[in-house]
Structure 1
Amino acid sequence: MQVSVETTSPIERRITIQVPAAEIDEAVSARLKDTAKNVRLNGFRQGRVPMAVVEKRYGPSVRNDVVGEVMRERYVRAITEESLNPAGYPSIDANVNEAGKDLEFVAIMEIYPEVELASIEGTSVERPVVDVTDADVEEMIETLRKQNADWQEVERAASDGDQVKIDFQGYIDDEPFEGGSAEGHELVLGSNSFIPGFEGQLEGAKAGEDKTISVTFPDDYQAEQLAGKEATFKVKVHQISAQVLPEIDAAFIERFGVEGGNETEFRAEVKKNMNREALQAVDNRVKQQVLDALKAANDISVPSALVQQETDGMKRQAAQQFGLGEDFDVSQLPNELFEEQAKGRVQVGLLLAEVIKQNELEASDDEIKAKVEELAGQYQDPQEVVDYYMSNDQLKTQVKSAILEEKAVAQLLEQTQVAEVEMTYQEALAAAQQQAEQGEEENADEQASA
Structure 2
Amino acid sequence: MGYSSAEQVPLIILAIERFILILWGHIMQVSVEKVSNVERRLTIVVPADKVEEAYTIQINRFAKNANIKGFRPGKAPMSYIRQRFGDDARKEALSDVIQSALYEAITEKNLKPINTPRVEPKVMTPNQPLEFTASFEVLPEIENIRFSMDGVEKLKVDVTPEDVSHVVEQLIKQYTKWKAVDRAAVLKDRLVIDYYAIFEGKEDTENKIQNFPLELGSHVMLPGFEDGLVGVKAGDERRLNLSFPADFGVPERAGKAVDFVVQVKKVLEAETPALDEQFIKNLGIKSGKDEDLQSQIRQSLEQERDRLVKEKLKEQIFRQLLEQNPLDVPSSMIAREAKNIHDEIYPQHQHHDHHQHSDDEMTAFNDIAKKRVALGLLIAEYAKQNKLTADSERVNIRIREIASAYESPQEVIDWLSSNERRPGIEAQVMEDQVMEKLMDGVTVTEKPISYAELKGIRS
TM above 0.5, yes or no, is yes
Structure 1 residue 262 and structure 2 residue 289: aligned?
A: yes
Q: CA deviation at 1:353?
A: 0.9
**Which residue type is aligned with residue 398 of structure 1?**
G
Among 276, 289, 302, the alignment partner of 2:303 is 276
Q: Contact 1:117–1:354 at 8 Å: present in 2 too?
A: no
Structure 1 residue 408 and structure 2 residue 457: aligned?
A: no
Q: CA deviation at 1:364?
A: 4.9
The match for 1:396 is 422
Identity %: 31
Among 91, 95, 104, the alignment partner of 2:131 is 104
Q: Contact 2:159–2:301 at 8 Å: present in 1 too?
A: yes
Q: Secondary structure of the residue that 1:18 maps to in structure 2?
A: strand
Q: CA deviation at 1:242?
A: 3.3
The match for 1:180 is 208
Q: Contact 1:121–1:415 at 8 Å: present in 2 too?
A: no
The match for 2:160 is 133
Q: Contact 1:127–1:282 at 8 Å: present in 2 too?
A: yes
> CA 1:30/1:349 → structure 2, altered by over 3 Å: closer, same or farther?
same
For the residues of structure 2 that align with 1:333 and 1:397, how far apart are their CA atoms?
Answer: 33
**Which residue type is aligned with residue 208 of structure 2?**
G
Query: Structure 1 stretch 267-276 or stretch 47-56: which is displaced more?
Result: 47-56
The match for 1:158 is 185
The match for 1:370 is 397
For the residues of structure 1 that align with 2:87 and 2:228, how far apart are their CA atoms?
Answer: 76
Among 375, 379, 383, the alignment partner of 1:348 is 375
Q: Secondary structure of the residue that 1:363 maps to in structure 2?
A: coil
The match for 1:93 is 120
Among 359, 367, 374, the alignment partner of 2:386 is 359
The match for 1:13 is 40
Structure 2: segments with no counterpart, 5+ residues: 1-27, 251-255
For the residues of structure 2 that align with 1:167 and 1:122, how far apart are their CA atoms?
Answer: 54
For the residues of structure 2 that align with 1:406 and 1:389, how far apart are their CA atoms?
Answer: 18
Q: Contact 2:52–2:127 at 8 Å: present in 1 too?
A: yes
Q: Secondary structure of the residue that 1:121 maps to in structure 2?
A: coil
Among 116, 126, 144, the alignment partner of 2:143 is 116
Q: Secondary structure of the residue that 1:393 maps to in structure 2?
A: coil
Say which one has the larger Rg: 2
Q: Contact 2:197–2:261 at 8 Å: present in 1 too?
A: yes
> CA 1:190/1:49 → structure 2, altered by over 3 Å: closer, same or farther?
farther
Instruction: Please give the root-mean-square deviation of Cα atoms over the aligned residues, in Å.
Output: 3.3
The match for 2:12 is none
Q: Contact 1:117–1:298 at 8 Å: present in 2 too?
A: no
> CA 1:424/1:167 → structure 2, altered by over 3 Å: closer, same or farther?
closer
For the residues of structure 1 that align with 2:71 and 2:420, how far apart are their CA atoms?
Answer: 57
Q: Contact 1:319–1:330 at 8 Å: present in 2 too?
A: no
The match for 1:305 is 332
The match for 1:419 is 445
**Which residue type is aligned with residue 429 of structure 1?**
K
The match for 2:409 is 382
**Which residue type is aligned with residue 71 of structure 1?**
I
The match for 2:176 is 149
Q: Secondary structure of the residue that 2:266 maps to in structure 1?
A: strand
Query: Structure 1 stretch 55-64 or stretch 285-294: which is displaced more?
Result: 55-64
Q: CA deviation at 1:82?
A: 1.4
Instruction: State the number of aligned residues.
Output: 421
For the residues of structure 1 that align with 2:156 and 2:173, how far apart are their CA atoms?
Answer: 28
For the residues of structure 2 that align with 1:35 and 1:230, how far apart are their CA atoms?
Answer: 82
Q: CA deviation at 1:154?
A: 4.2
